Amino acid sequence: MKRLTSIPALQMMANIIREDIITSLQEAKSGHSAGPLGMADIFTALYFNVLEHNPRNPAWEGRDRMVLSNGHICPVLYATMANAGYFPKKELFTLRKFGSRLQGHPHRESLPGLETTSGPLGSGLAQAAGMASGLRLDGKKNVVFCACSDGEQDEGNHWEAVMFAAKNKLGNLIAITDRNYIQIDGNTEQIMPLDPLDEKYKAFNWDVKVINGNNMKEVLATLQQARARSSTATKPLMIIAKTTPGKGVDYMENDYRWHGAPPGTLKTERAPALDRQAAVALEEIHAHEVEERGNWYHSHFKFKPLHEMKKELKVKNVDKKTVGTGRKKR
């Protein structure tokens, strides 16, 4: 895996991934916007720098395990995997289509590179802790990462896994909470208060780090240090990443109603007309990128966002003929 090592290159990739999230959601006409956009920086840092993995050989035994517990944010996982080379970017147009390998919640046996099937919240950390424990028992050095959300920590099962991981001193387990303060119906603190979340993990005998999950410099340094410490650590690590839901699209940012809505489907006070929503989202992400770093990605073919590739990929109407066969066994 070729790593992106500079902060500007990683920030640029995160914005390409944001554009690809919007394009795939626009095509699907359903799915989740807020969480995926907020977590784009973290997934970029993981897949383009921190993880030991091989997109051309997804089942490579030496790989780190990346478990996505909050399965509904899979548009960010798919867009990141496509840009990293797990499958052709064109396939992002099949998100949520019948027969696609890119289901609305990840289906492990459909797509090589997925470690688990997810969607039912609260179960991913238990699966990741089981993997970490198994790897330790086998004397393996692989590290297990687990992304989870704040809303899913209303599930009791999550806290059983927290206790199991601490008891078994799983230093090879690194969890990342998307602390965006929203869940399906509103603000997390109004629905089921979680704060002080860092103190809770400390009390459960975990190491804890609180970061700005949209600051690439901080994200990268934290994830690199976390991976480096995991070979000797005797406590699991929780990274509480404070993110902005809907990051990059002004009319979506910090509005919980975009939790499960794609552009073009929801009228809000801040949103433009329905038929302009996807275009405005793309324009805003792109304008921000150009403002920060100039027009870099137009000089790199492989760094092109998906919506600009529609013509050259000859994508017309996506139907069953153009999507994967699904259920590919590994």
Q: Given the rule CB under 5 A, which residues bind Mg ion?
A: 149-151, 180, 182
Least distance between ligand TPP and beta carbon 161 (Å): 14
According to the binding rule CB under 6 A, does residue 103 interact with ligand TPP?
no
Maximum alpha-carbon separation in the chain: 56
Least distance between ligand TPP and beta carbon 192 (Å): 10
CB 129 within 8 A of CB 143: no
**Which secondary-structure segment (H or E) carries 162?**
helix 156-167
> Which residue, 55 or 75, has its beta carbon nearer to ligand TPP?
75
**Paired residues of 86 in beta bridges:** none
CB 5 within 8 A of CB 60: no
Q: Restricting to residues 257-286, which ones interact with ligand TPP according to CB under 6 A? A: 259
Position of minimal CB gap to ligand TPP: 151
Residue 184 binds which one of Mg ion, ligand TPP, none, with CB within 5 to 8 A depending on kind? ligand TPP
Of positions 44, 100, 149, 222, contacts ligand TPP by CB under 6 A: 149
Instruction: Kindly state the tokens that stand for 305.
Output: 């966002």
Eight-class DSSP state of 64 = P
Of the candidates 188, 190, 132, 120, the residue with the CA atom closest to the CA atom of residue 158: 120
Of 130-138, 175-183, 232-240, 275-283: span binding ligand TPP (CB under 6 A):
175-183
According to the binding rule CB under 6 A, does residue 72 interact with ligand TPP?
yes
Strand ordering across the sheet containing 144-149: 65-68, 144-149, 173-179, 237-242, 207-212
Least distance between ligand TPP and beta carbon 63 (Å): 26
CB 276 within 8 A of CB 270: no
According to the binding rule CB under 6 A, does residue 203 interact with ligand TPP?
no
- The contact mask relative to ligand TPP for 107-126 (x = CB under 6 A, - = no) is ------------xxxx----
> Which residue, 83 or 149, has its beta carbon nearer to Mg ion?
149
* List of residues 6+ apart from 226 with CB closer than 8 A: 174, 209, 237, 239
**Distance (Å, rounded) from C-alpha 241 to C-alpha 229?**
18
Binding site for ligand TPP (CB under 6 A): 34-35, 70, 72-73, 119-122, 149-152, 178, 180, 182-184, 245, 259
